[in-house]
């Protein structure tokens, strides 16, 4: 069940990579490259930092096949139809929600401290988006332009940590925590939810 949820998360990131490449006017090869970059970058960085070998995707042919299939299908779809304006944000939110929680679970399995669990959850969730945006020439990346992104990931990782400590089974904890991340991210997108920003009180700052 957990592996299926993870496939859903990387599929969403694969689609988001192709959508971002499409908006950046990249060719199909660029779309596939971003599909893989968005899908596996976060987990790769997490595993390297946790010294987990071999890297999770190097021996999971199902995962790689799903990424390639979703990326290819999205490329074909975009050849004939257009997607709603906020489709990239939606699939990105789905990928963020699932992958963040899976990252937190991997950190717990590695025996790191509770704070490190949250950090690794965030790293796993947001790294693919950062790599995708940088490769598309978008700077600053979405992570640095939207307040409730890494914050949503941190909330989800923290929720999973608490549920795991309370003895909730892994599937239920994953579903509830991922739903929290998704809800927070959608609220930010659709209702303009932002964290308070510091005000610049320098003379002429509002000019």
8 Å CB contact between 11 and 70: yes
**What is the per-residue pLDDT for 118?**
97
Dihedral sign computed on CA atoms, order 72, 174, 148, 189:
positive
**What is the per-residue pLDDT for 111?**
95
pLDDT tens-digit map of 102-148: 999 999 999 999 999 999 999 999 999 899 988 988 777 666 666 68
Task: Give the number of other CB atoms < 10 A from CB of residue 203.
Answer: 6
**What is the per-residue pLDDT for 158?**
97
Which residues, 6 or more positions from 11, have their beta carbon under 8 angstroms from its beta carbon? 39, 66, 67, 70, 95
In this prediction, residue 15 has a pLDDT band, given cuts at 50, 70 and 90, of: very high
8 Å CB contact between 181 and 101: yes
User: Which long-range contacts link 137-144 to residues 24+ away (Cβ below 8 Å)?
Assistant: 137/24, 138/20, 138/24, 142/92
How far apart, in Å, are the Cα atoms of 30 and each of 23, 58, 179? 11, 21, 31
- The Cα 172–Cα 192 span in angstroms is 29
Angle at 183 between CA 13 and CA 21, to 5 degrees: 25
Please tell me the least confidently modeled range out of 30-34, 56-60, 176-180: 56-60
**Average pLDDT score over residue span 19-23:** 91
pLDDT tens-digit map of 147-162: 688 999 999 999 999 9
**What is the per-residue pLDDT for 207?**
44
**Radius of gyration from C-alpha coordinates of the chain:** 17
**What is the per-residue pLDDT for 90?**
86
pLDDT tens-digit map of 35-87: 999 999 999 999 999 999 899 899 899 999 999 999 999 999 999 988 776 77
**Average pLDDT score over residue span 21-35:** 93
The three-state secondary structure class of 203 is coil
Cα-flanking dihedrals φ and ψ of residue 133, to 5°?
-65, -40
């Amino acid at each position: 069940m957990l592996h299926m949820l993870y496939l859903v998360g990387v599929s969403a990131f694969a689609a988001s990579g192709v959508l971002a490449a499409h908006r950046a006017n990249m060719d199909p090869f660029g779309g596939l490259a971003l599909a893989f970059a968005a899908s596996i970058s976060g987990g790769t960085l997490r595993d390297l930092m946790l010294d987990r070998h071999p890297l999770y995707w190097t021996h999971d042919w199902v995962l790689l096949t799903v990424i390639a299939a979703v990326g290819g299908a999205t490329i074909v779809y975009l050849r004939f139809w257009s997607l709603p304006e906020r489709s990239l944000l939606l699939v990105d939110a789905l990928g963020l929600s699932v992958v963040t929680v899976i990252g937190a679970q991997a950190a717990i399995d590695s025996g790191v401290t509770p704070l490190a669990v949250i950090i690794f959850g965030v790293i796993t969730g947001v790294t693919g988006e950062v790599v995708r945006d940088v490769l598309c020439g978008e700077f600053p990346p979405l992570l640095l332009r939207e307040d409730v992104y890494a914050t949503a990931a941190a909330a989800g990782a923290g929720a999973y940590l608490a549920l795991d400590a309370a003895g909730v089974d892994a599937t239920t904890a994953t579903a509830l925590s991922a739903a929290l991340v998704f809800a927070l991210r959608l609220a930010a997108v659709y209702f303009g939810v932002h964290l308070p920003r510091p005000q610049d009180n320098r003379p002429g700052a509002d000019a």
